A = this chain, B = another copy of it.
Amino acid sequence: MIIVIRPHTPPEQVEEVIREVAQLGYTPNPIRGDFQTVVAAIGDETTHASLESLTALPQVERVLRVQKRYKLASRESRPEGTIVHAGGVEIGGRDFVVMAGPCSVESEEQLMATARAVKAAGAVILRGGAYKPRTSPYEFQGLGPEGLRLLADARRETGLGIVTEVLSERDVEFVAGTADILQIGARNAQNFQLLVACARSGKPVLLKRGMSMRIEEWLLAAEYLLAHGNPNVILCERGIRTFENYTRNTLDLAAVAIAKQETHLPVVVDPSQGCGRADLVKVLCRGAIAVGADGLIVEVHPNPAEALSDGQQQLDPPAFAALVADLEPYLQAGGRSLARQR
Protein backbone atom coordinates (compact mmCIF):
# COMPACT_ATOMS: atom_id res chain seq x y z
CA MET A 1 0.00 0.00 0.00
CA ILE A 2 1.04 3.58 -0.51
CA ILE A 3 0.48 6.06 2.30
CA VAL A 4 0.44 9.64 1.06
CA ILE A 5 1.55 12.13 3.72
CA ARG A 6 0.23 15.69 3.58
CA PRO A 7 2.62 18.37 2.29
CA HIS A 8 4.59 20.24 5.01
CA THR A 9 4.28 17.45 7.57
CA PRO A 10 7.07 17.71 10.18
CA PRO A 11 9.55 14.79 10.16
CA GLU A 12 8.47 13.40 13.53
CA GLN A 13 4.92 12.98 12.27
CA VAL A 14 6.22 11.17 9.21
CA GLU A 15 8.09 8.89 11.61
CA GLU A 16 4.85 8.19 13.44
CA VAL A 17 3.32 6.90 10.22
CA ILE A 18 6.38 4.77 9.51
CA ARG A 19 6.14 3.23 12.98
CA GLU A 20 2.43 2.49 12.53
CA VAL A 21 3.09 0.83 9.17
CA ALA A 22 5.65 -1.45 10.79
CA GLN A 23 3.35 -2.07 13.74
CA LEU A 24 0.63 -3.29 11.35
CA GLY A 25 2.96 -5.86 9.80
CA TYR A 26 4.30 -4.15 6.69
CA THR A 27 7.82 -3.06 5.78
CA PRO A 28 7.77 0.74 5.44
CA ASN A 29 9.67 2.37 2.62
CA PRO A 30 9.53 6.18 2.72
CA ILE A 31 10.07 8.16 -0.48
CA ARG A 32 10.64 11.86 0.01
CA GLY A 33 9.61 14.07 -2.90
CA ASP A 34 9.91 17.82 -3.28
CA PHE A 35 6.31 18.41 -2.32
CA GLN A 36 5.35 15.54 -0.12
CA THR A 37 6.44 12.20 1.23
CA VAL A 38 4.86 8.87 0.48
CA VAL A 39 5.45 5.67 2.42
CA ALA A 40 5.35 2.49 0.39
CA ALA A 41 4.28 -0.37 2.66
CA ILE A 42 5.57 -3.73 1.48
CA GLY A 43 3.67 -6.85 2.44
CA ASP A 44 0.75 -9.07 1.49
CA GLU A 45 -2.28 -6.80 1.50
CA THR A 46 -4.76 -9.62 1.72
CA THR A 47 -3.38 -11.18 4.89
CA HIS A 48 -2.27 -8.12 6.82
CA ALA A 49 -4.69 -5.63 8.26
CA SER A 50 -5.65 -2.89 5.86
CA LEU A 51 -3.70 0.30 6.23
CA GLU A 52 -6.66 2.41 5.18
CA SER A 53 -7.27 3.07 8.87
CA LEU A 54 -4.13 5.18 8.84
CA THR A 55 -6.09 7.98 7.21
CA ALA A 56 -7.40 8.47 10.72
CA LEU A 57 -4.06 10.15 11.41
CA PRO A 58 -4.27 13.86 10.56
CA GLN A 59 -1.00 13.88 8.65
CA VAL A 60 -2.14 11.11 6.28
CA GLU A 61 -3.81 12.43 3.15
CA ARG A 62 -4.72 9.17 1.47
CA VAL A 63 -3.92 5.47 1.38
CA LEU A 64 -3.72 3.80 -2.02
CA ARG A 65 -4.00 0.06 -2.43
CA VAL A 66 -1.54 -1.57 -4.81
CA GLN A 67 -2.42 -5.25 -4.85
CA LYS A 68 -5.54 -6.88 -6.16
CA ARG A 69 -7.78 -8.04 -3.34
CA TYR A 70 -8.94 -11.31 -4.92
CA LYS A 71 -6.59 -14.26 -5.15
CA LEU A 72 -8.50 -17.47 -5.79
CA ALA A 73 -10.75 -15.77 -8.32
CA SER A 74 -7.86 -14.15 -10.20
CA ARG A 75 -6.98 -15.37 -13.69
CA GLU A 76 -3.43 -15.90 -12.44
CA SER A 77 -4.49 -18.59 -10.04
CA ARG A 78 -5.90 -20.68 -12.91
CA PRO A 79 -4.79 -19.34 -16.27
CA GLU A 80 -6.47 -22.09 -18.26
CA GLY A 81 -9.94 -21.04 -17.06
CA THR A 82 -12.66 -22.90 -15.20
CA ILE A 83 -15.33 -25.00 -16.83
CA VAL A 84 -18.39 -25.55 -14.67
CA HIS A 85 -20.30 -28.77 -15.29
CA ALA A 86 -23.97 -28.43 -14.49
CA GLY A 87 -27.25 -29.76 -15.82
CA GLY A 88 -25.47 -31.88 -18.38
CA VAL A 89 -23.56 -29.05 -20.01
CA GLU A 90 -20.20 -27.36 -19.75
CA ILE A 91 -20.23 -23.67 -18.95
CA GLY A 92 -17.07 -21.71 -19.70
CA GLY A 93 -15.76 -23.95 -22.45
CA ARG A 94 -15.94 -23.53 -26.20
CA ASP A 95 -19.69 -23.95 -26.33
CA PHE A 96 -22.06 -21.10 -25.65
CA VAL A 97 -24.78 -21.91 -23.15
CA VAL A 98 -28.31 -20.55 -23.40
CA MET A 99 -30.41 -20.60 -20.22
CA ALA A 100 -34.02 -19.48 -20.50
CA GLY A 101 -37.36 -19.63 -18.79
CA PRO A 102 -39.91 -17.54 -16.97
CA CYS A 103 -39.07 -14.84 -14.46
CA SER A 104 -41.34 -16.62 -11.95
CA VAL A 105 -42.73 -20.14 -11.94
CA GLU A 106 -46.46 -19.38 -11.96
CA SER A 107 -48.20 -22.67 -12.74
CA GLU A 108 -47.59 -26.12 -14.16
CA GLU A 109 -49.08 -25.13 -17.47
CA GLN A 110 -47.03 -21.93 -17.75
CA LEU A 111 -43.77 -23.63 -16.79
CA MET A 112 -44.18 -26.70 -18.98
CA ALA A 113 -45.16 -24.65 -22.02
CA THR A 114 -42.12 -22.47 -21.53
CA ALA A 115 -39.76 -25.37 -20.86
CA ARG A 116 -40.80 -27.17 -24.03
CA ALA A 117 -40.53 -24.01 -26.08
CA VAL A 118 -37.10 -22.95 -24.85
CA LYS A 119 -35.77 -26.47 -25.31
CA ALA A 120 -37.06 -26.56 -28.86
CA ALA A 121 -35.41 -23.24 -29.55
CA GLY A 122 -32.00 -24.37 -28.27
CA ALA A 123 -31.79 -23.62 -24.55
CA VAL A 124 -30.08 -26.22 -22.39
CA ILE A 125 -30.81 -24.88 -18.92
CA LEU A 126 -34.24 -23.83 -17.64
CA ARG A 127 -34.49 -20.79 -15.40
CA GLY A 128 -37.50 -20.01 -13.23
CA GLY A 129 -37.96 -18.34 -9.86
CA ALA A 130 -39.73 -20.27 -7.11
CA TYR A 131 -38.69 -17.73 -4.47
CA LYS A 132 -38.92 -14.13 -5.69
CA PRO A 133 -37.31 -11.09 -4.09
CA ARG A 134 -39.86 -8.33 -4.67
CA THR A 135 -39.49 -4.65 -3.89
CA SER A 136 -42.96 -4.46 -2.37
CA PRO A 137 -44.43 -6.91 0.17
CA TYR A 138 -47.68 -6.80 -1.79
CA GLU A 139 -46.20 -8.27 -4.96
CA PHE A 140 -46.21 -11.96 -5.93
CA GLN A 141 -43.53 -13.68 -3.85
CA GLY A 142 -43.26 -16.93 -5.82
CA LEU A 143 -44.77 -20.39 -5.35
CA GLY A 144 -41.96 -21.57 -3.07
CA PRO A 145 -41.66 -25.38 -2.62
CA GLU A 146 -44.44 -25.96 -5.13
CA GLY A 147 -42.42 -23.98 -7.66
CA LEU A 148 -39.40 -26.20 -7.04
CA ARG A 149 -41.56 -29.29 -7.52
CA LEU A 150 -42.71 -27.97 -10.88
CA LEU A 151 -39.10 -27.25 -11.90
CA ALA A 152 -38.14 -30.83 -11.04
CA ASP A 153 -41.05 -32.06 -13.15
CA ALA A 154 -39.94 -29.91 -16.05
CA ARG A 155 -36.43 -31.33 -15.84
CA ARG A 156 -37.82 -34.84 -15.79
CA GLU A 157 -39.82 -34.25 -18.92
CA THR A 158 -37.40 -32.12 -20.92
CA GLY A 159 -33.98 -33.07 -19.64
CA LEU A 160 -33.11 -29.39 -19.19
CA GLY A 161 -30.89 -28.46 -16.25
CA ILE A 162 -32.39 -26.14 -13.64
CA VAL A 163 -31.12 -22.80 -12.37
CA THR A 164 -33.21 -21.11 -9.68
CA GLU A 165 -32.69 -18.39 -7.13
CA VAL A 166 -32.22 -19.04 -3.44
CA LEU A 167 -33.10 -16.14 -1.14
CA SER A 168 -32.54 -17.57 2.29
CA GLU A 169 -29.73 -19.43 4.00
CA ARG A 170 -32.38 -21.64 5.51
CA ASP A 171 -33.54 -22.77 2.10
CA VAL A 172 -30.14 -23.49 0.56
CA GLU A 173 -30.16 -27.21 1.20
CA PHE A 174 -33.75 -27.56 0.15
CA VAL A 175 -33.31 -25.61 -3.08
CA ALA A 176 -30.06 -27.45 -3.77
CA GLY A 177 -32.13 -30.64 -3.67
CA THR A 178 -33.77 -29.54 -6.92
CA ALA A 179 -31.48 -27.03 -8.60
CA ASP A 180 -28.52 -27.87 -10.80
CA ILE A 181 -27.30 -24.32 -10.32
CA LEU A 182 -28.12 -22.06 -7.37
CA GLN A 183 -28.69 -18.47 -8.37
CA ILE A 184 -27.71 -15.64 -6.03
CA GLY A 185 -29.61 -12.55 -7.07
CA ALA A 186 -28.40 -8.98 -7.39
CA ARG A 187 -30.00 -7.92 -4.10
CA ASN A 188 -28.16 -10.69 -2.24
CA ALA A 189 -24.81 -10.39 -3.96
CA GLN A 190 -23.28 -9.05 -0.73
CA ASN A 191 -25.36 -11.22 1.59
CA PHE A 192 -22.21 -12.96 2.69
CA GLN A 193 -23.99 -15.48 4.90
CA LEU A 194 -25.98 -16.67 1.90
CA LEU A 195 -22.78 -16.82 -0.16
CA VAL A 196 -21.12 -19.02 2.45
CA ALA A 197 -24.17 -21.27 2.72
CA CYS A 198 -24.32 -21.69 -1.05
CA ALA A 199 -20.60 -22.36 -1.20
CA ARG A 200 -21.03 -25.19 1.30
CA SER A 201 -23.91 -26.77 -0.60
CA GLY A 202 -21.44 -28.04 -3.18
CA LYS A 203 -23.76 -26.99 -6.02
CA PRO A 204 -22.59 -24.72 -8.82
CA VAL A 205 -23.51 -21.11 -8.10
CA LEU A 206 -24.54 -18.39 -10.55
CA LEU A 207 -23.60 -15.10 -8.90
CA LYS A 208 -25.32 -12.01 -10.22
CA ARG A 209 -23.58 -8.66 -9.97
CA GLY A 210 -25.28 -6.38 -7.47
CA MET A 211 -27.03 -3.27 -8.69
CA SER A 212 -24.34 -0.92 -7.42
CA MET A 213 -21.42 -3.31 -7.18
CA ARG A 214 -18.07 -2.32 -8.56
CA ILE A 215 -16.39 -5.11 -10.51
CA GLU A 216 -13.86 -5.52 -7.73
CA GLU A 217 -16.64 -6.11 -5.20
CA TRP A 218 -18.34 -8.59 -7.49
CA LEU A 219 -15.11 -10.57 -7.83
CA LEU A 220 -14.63 -10.43 -4.06
CA ALA A 221 -18.11 -11.90 -3.62
CA ALA A 222 -16.97 -14.70 -5.92
CA GLU A 223 -13.87 -14.97 -3.75
CA TYR A 224 -16.16 -15.70 -0.79
CA LEU A 225 -17.58 -18.68 -2.68
CA LEU A 226 -14.15 -19.94 -3.70
CA ALA A 227 -12.61 -19.38 -0.29
CA HIS A 228 -15.41 -21.40 1.27
CA GLY A 229 -14.63 -24.37 -0.91
CA ASN A 230 -16.83 -24.09 -3.97
CA PRO A 231 -14.88 -23.89 -7.22
CA ASN A 232 -17.99 -23.93 -9.45
CA VAL A 233 -18.85 -20.28 -9.75
CA ILE A 234 -20.49 -18.62 -12.74
CA LEU A 235 -20.50 -14.83 -12.85
CA CYS A 236 -23.55 -13.07 -14.26
CA GLU A 237 -23.62 -9.46 -15.46
CA ARG A 238 -27.16 -8.07 -15.25
CA GLY A 239 -26.81 -4.33 -15.47
CA ILE A 240 -25.98 -1.67 -12.94
CA ARG A 241 -28.04 1.17 -11.61
CA THR A 242 -27.38 4.55 -13.19
CA PHE A 243 -29.28 7.78 -13.85
CA GLU A 244 -30.52 6.53 -17.24
CA ASN A 245 -34.22 5.78 -17.27
CA TYR A 246 -34.96 4.53 -20.79
CA THR A 247 -33.64 1.24 -19.50
CA ARG A 248 -34.20 -0.35 -16.09
CA ASN A 249 -30.48 -0.93 -15.65
CA THR A 250 -27.39 -0.11 -17.69
CA LEU A 251 -25.92 -3.35 -19.02
CA ASP A 252 -22.17 -3.09 -18.54
CA LEU A 253 -20.75 -5.21 -21.34
CA ALA A 254 -17.21 -3.99 -20.68
CA ALA A 255 -17.53 -5.67 -17.28
CA VAL A 256 -17.96 -9.02 -19.04
CA ALA A 257 -14.66 -8.57 -20.86
CA ILE A 258 -12.95 -7.44 -17.68
CA ALA A 259 -14.31 -10.36 -15.67
CA LYS A 260 -13.04 -12.77 -18.33
CA GLN A 261 -9.61 -11.12 -18.19
CA GLU A 262 -9.32 -10.74 -14.42
CA THR A 263 -10.72 -14.14 -13.44
CA HIS A 264 -10.81 -17.74 -14.64
CA LEU A 265 -14.56 -18.03 -14.11
CA PRO A 266 -17.29 -18.39 -16.75
CA VAL A 267 -19.33 -15.22 -17.30
CA VAL A 268 -22.90 -15.11 -18.54
CA VAL A 269 -25.17 -12.18 -19.30
CA ASP A 270 -28.77 -11.52 -18.29
CA PRO A 271 -30.06 -9.15 -20.95
CA SER A 272 -33.63 -9.24 -19.63
CA GLN A 273 -32.81 -7.65 -16.27
CA GLY A 274 -30.00 -5.80 -18.01
CA CYS A 275 -32.39 -3.50 -19.84
CA GLY A 276 -35.85 -4.36 -18.53
CA ARG A 277 -37.35 -4.16 -22.04
CA ALA A 278 -38.25 -7.07 -24.27
CA ASP A 279 -37.51 -5.06 -27.42
CA LEU A 280 -33.80 -4.75 -26.65
CA VAL A 281 -33.09 -8.30 -25.52
CA LYS A 282 -32.04 -9.61 -28.92
CA VAL A 283 -29.42 -6.97 -29.69
CA LEU A 284 -28.00 -7.21 -26.19
CA CYS A 285 -27.62 -10.98 -26.65
CA ARG A 286 -25.58 -10.28 -29.78
CA GLY A 287 -23.53 -7.76 -27.81
CA ALA A 288 -22.92 -10.28 -25.04
CA ILE A 289 -21.52 -12.79 -27.51
CA ALA A 290 -19.37 -10.14 -29.13
CA VAL A 291 -17.66 -9.16 -25.87
CA GLY A 292 -16.90 -12.78 -25.00
CA ALA A 293 -19.65 -13.99 -22.69
CA ASP A 294 -19.93 -17.74 -22.15
CA GLY A 295 -23.70 -17.80 -22.14
CA LEU A 296 -27.01 -16.04 -21.64
CA ILE A 297 -29.89 -16.24 -19.23
CA VAL A 298 -33.07 -14.97 -20.88
CA GLU A 299 -36.59 -14.51 -19.55
CA VAL A 300 -39.34 -16.21 -21.57
CA HIS A 301 -43.08 -16.40 -20.79
CA PRO A 302 -45.99 -17.82 -22.79
CA ASN A 303 -47.96 -14.58 -22.33
CA PRO A 304 -45.77 -11.75 -21.05
CA ALA A 305 -48.59 -9.21 -20.79
CA GLU A 306 -50.18 -11.30 -18.03
CA ALA A 307 -46.99 -12.40 -16.26
CA LEU A 308 -47.06 -12.13 -12.48
CA SER A 309 -43.66 -10.42 -12.48
CA ASP A 310 -41.60 -8.41 -14.96
CA GLY A 311 -43.74 -9.07 -18.02
CA GLN A 312 -42.25 -6.05 -19.73
CA GLN A 313 -38.91 -7.79 -20.16
CA GLN A 314 -40.03 -11.32 -21.02
CA LEU A 315 -40.08 -12.68 -24.55
CA ASP A 316 -42.80 -14.95 -25.85
CA PRO A 317 -41.70 -18.32 -27.29
CA PRO A 318 -41.67 -17.26 -30.97
CA ALA A 319 -39.56 -14.21 -30.20
CA PHE A 320 -37.16 -16.37 -28.20
CA ALA A 321 -36.85 -18.92 -31.01
CA ALA A 322 -36.09 -16.09 -33.42
CA LEU A 323 -33.51 -14.72 -31.02
CA VAL A 324 -31.61 -18.01 -30.75
CA ALA A 325 -31.64 -18.46 -34.51
CA ASP A 326 -30.31 -14.92 -34.88
CA LEU A 327 -27.29 -15.61 -32.68
CA GLU A 328 -25.72 -18.21 -34.93
CA PRO A 329 -23.58 -15.90 -37.12
CA TYR A 330 -22.33 -13.96 -34.09
CA LEU A 331 -21.30 -17.21 -32.42
CA GLN A 332 -19.49 -18.22 -35.56
CA ALA A 333 -17.75 -14.87 -35.70
CA GLY A 334 -16.36 -15.63 -32.23
CA GLY A 335 -15.50 -19.22 -33.10
CA ARG A 336 -18.13 -20.68 -30.81
CA SER A 337 -21.21 -22.80 -31.18
CA LEU A 338 -24.38 -23.36 -29.22
CA ALA A 339 -24.10 -25.88 -26.41
CA ARG A 340 -26.36 -28.84 -27.00
CA GLN A 341 -27.67 -31.22 -24.39
CA ARG A 342 -25.80 -34.45 -24.12
Contact = CB atoms under 8 A, between A and B. Distances in A.
A38 B29 CA distance: 11
A250 B29 CA distance: 34
A212 interface: yes
B274 A254 contact: yes
Contact of A254 (B245, B250, B304): B250
B31 A35 contact: no
Contacts of A193: 167-168, 170
Nearest to A286: B290
A15 to B, nearest CB: 14
Given A56-B278, A212-B211, A240-B250, A284 B257 contact: yes
Given A7-B76, A29-B31, 14 more contacts: A34-B42, A46-B136, A47-B138, A54-B311, A55-B311, A137-B192, A240-B243, A242-B242, A251-B253, A283-B292, A286-B334, A287-B290, A332-B333, A333-B333
Interface in A229-278: 240-247, 250-255, 257-258, 261, 274-275, 277-278
Given A254-B251, A287-B253, A50 B214 contact: no
11 contacts: A24-B306, A35-B44, A56-B312, A56-B316, A70-B136, A135-B190, A211-B212, A212-B212, A287-B290, A289-B290, A330-B333
The 10 A-B residue pairs with the shortest CB-CB distance in the complex, in nearest-first order: A53-B311, A212-B212, A56-B304, A329-B333, A286-B290, A290-B290, A55-B312, A187-B190, A168-B193, A33-B42
A142 to B, nearest CB: 11
Interface in A40-79: 40, 42-44, 46-47, 49-50, 52-57, 63-64, 66-67, 69-70, 76
Given A137-B220, A168-B193, A254-B274, A311 B212 contact: no
Contact of A214 (B70, B215, B243, B277): B243
Contacts of A223: 136-137
A64 B31 contact: no
Interface of A: 2, 4, 7-8, 20, 23-24, 29, 31, 33-36, 38, 40, 42-44, 46-47, 49-50, 52-57, 63-64, 66-67, 69-70, 76, 133-140, 167-170, 187-188, 190-194, 210-212, 214-217, 220, 223-224, 227-228, 240-247, 250-255, 257-258, 261, 274-275, 277-280, 283-284, 286-287, 289-292, 304-308, 310-312, 314, 316, 329-330, 332-334
A133 B292 contact: no
A334 B31 CA distance: 41
